Amino acid sequence: MPRILVVDDEEPIVELIRFNLEREGFEVIATGDGDAALKKVASEQPDLIILDLMLPGQDGLSVCRILRNDPNTRGIPVIILSARSEEIDRVLGLEMGADDYVTKPFSPRELVARVKARLRREAKTPGSLSGQFSRGPIIIDPERFSVTIKGVKYDLTPKEFELLCILAREPGRVFSREYLLERIWGYDYMGDSRTVDVHIRHIRQKLEQAPELPQLVETVRGVGYRFRENL
């Protein structure tokens, strides 16, 4: 039974989410405090976290950043649930490593659907892309979830890793944002392709620290992205 951690200091919202998730067979644990949420993650090991931004103690963005910087919690999916509906808030949430962003007021049915979709995606591990391969000095090993460049290992989040695998498998092929959303997120992300842009930016920031490397992921204006040929 998948275990969901709900982090929100509004009890009626917590109970609404709990009712709808438990009805679908999920186990729900909850807290209304950011610091307590980090302790719950360590002790309860949830399969997914629904996270409000405005919290006592650590705020939601800080909690998300801490989770993503810890190798033990980096792979836990995080869905932000917030009353902040501006584009900048959504983008900032994604920048901090959230997998999804849902605004309040929200549809409980839609939230449950997003939880299910996210867990389905997590079940499709990078190992399903099996087979180590290299592109120039880059070695990508899906089964070990590793990316190395000249012996140096670079840490990517699960979605960044899967995105890199898809692009690097077919250098030169242009992938649209819509295609990448469907492949990696598994459902229509509210028509918001900015999440792909955010994750591409993170990949570039991490892998292109190596000064001898050119830009690995190229932008094709108005279309999408491709992995550079002839590294």
- d(CA 75, CA 107) in angstroms, rounded, equals 26
Confidence (pTM): 0.68
139-181 pLDDT, tens digit per residue, is 999 877 889 988 888 888 888 888 999 999 999 999 998 888 8
Angle at 96 between CA 83 and CA 20, to 5 degrees: 45
Q: What is the tally of structural domains in the chain? A: 2
Residue 67 and residue 132 share a domain = no
Joined together, the tokens standing for residue 66 give: 């801490």
Residue 137 and residue 85 share a domain = no
Residue-level pLDDT at 130: 57
Residue 133 and residue 110 share a domain = no
Residue-level pLDDT at 126: 47
Residue-level pLDDT at 187: 54
CB-based contacts of 187-193 (< 8 A; 24+ apart in sequence): 187/113, 187/114, 187/117, 189/100, 192/90
Residue 222 and residue 115 share a domain = no
Q: In the listed set 123, 151, 168, which residue is the last one of a domain according to the structure? A: 123
Residue 95 and residue 61 share a domain = yes
Range of 149's domain? 126-227
Question: Is the dihedral angle over the CA atoms 23, 28, 31, 35 positive or is it negative?
Answer: negative
Residue 145 and residue 80 share a domain = no
Residue-level pLDDT at 192: 62
Q: In the listed set 66, 99, 123, which residue is the last one of a domain according to the structure? A: 123
Residue 115 and residue 147 share a domain = no
104-152 pLDDT, tens digit per residue, is 999 999 999 989 888 877 665 544 455 789 988 889 998 778 899 888 8
Residue 209 and residue 144 share a domain = yes
Residue 175 and residue 130 share a domain = yes
Joined together, the tokens standing for residue 50 give: 């629904």
> Percent of the chain, pLDDT > 70?
90
**What secondary structure does DSSP assign to 194-207, as a single string?**
HHHHHHHHHHHHHH
Residue-level pLDDT at 24: 93
What is the CATH classification number for the domain harbouring 208? 1.10.10.10
Mean pLDDT across 7-34: 95
